[in-house]
Structure 1
Amino acid sequence: MSRSLKKGPYINVKLEKKVLAMNESGKKVVVKTWARASMISPDFVGHTVAVHNGNKFI
């Protein structure tokens, strides 16, 4: 089910802070997250995000 356009995208705050900090520092580290519903914003491009599928990170 897609999210309503009037609500806007859901982006996990902790995940966004981690990626923005990596953008400022220039580091490229794999970010692990359990937030499966979080959308990937343009700031995330170029980074590797490992999402937990209930058993392991993929």
Structure 2
Amino acid sequence: MARSLWKGPFIQNLILKKATNWKKNNLPSYKLIRIWSRNSVIFPSFVGLNFEVYNGKTYVPLLIKKKMIGAKFGEFVLTRKMVKHK
């Protein structure tokens, strides 16, 4: 079931604060912002930033592009290893 419209998109406050501080202080975009919230929505202000999203074991680097706006961080970071049989 989708989230109700009056609530708006979900985002963890810490992610929003880190991203706005990153843009405000003109920090280099090649440095990574570490986050744990895979269910947070990607906002347009995140375009061009590098995030490291925790997949349960390690941090996976993720560069935000325009096509990713509106999706969730967890959609781009796999949690299960692909099994390849010989």
| TM-score, structure 1 as length reference | 0.86
Aligned to 1:19: 19
Runs of 5+ unmatched residues, structure 2: 61-86
Q: Tell me the percent identity.
A: 36
Based on CA coordinates, which of the two structures has the bigger radius of gyration? 2
SS in 1 for 2:42: coil
Runs of 5+ unmatched residues, structure 1: none
| Larger RCO, structure (CA 8 Å, separation 6 or more) | 1
Where is the strand percentage greater, Structure 1 or Structure 2?
A: 2
Q: Hey, which bits of structure 1, 4+ residues long, moved more than 4 A?
A: none
Q: CA RMSD in A?
A: 1.3
| TM-score, structure 2 as length reference | 0.61
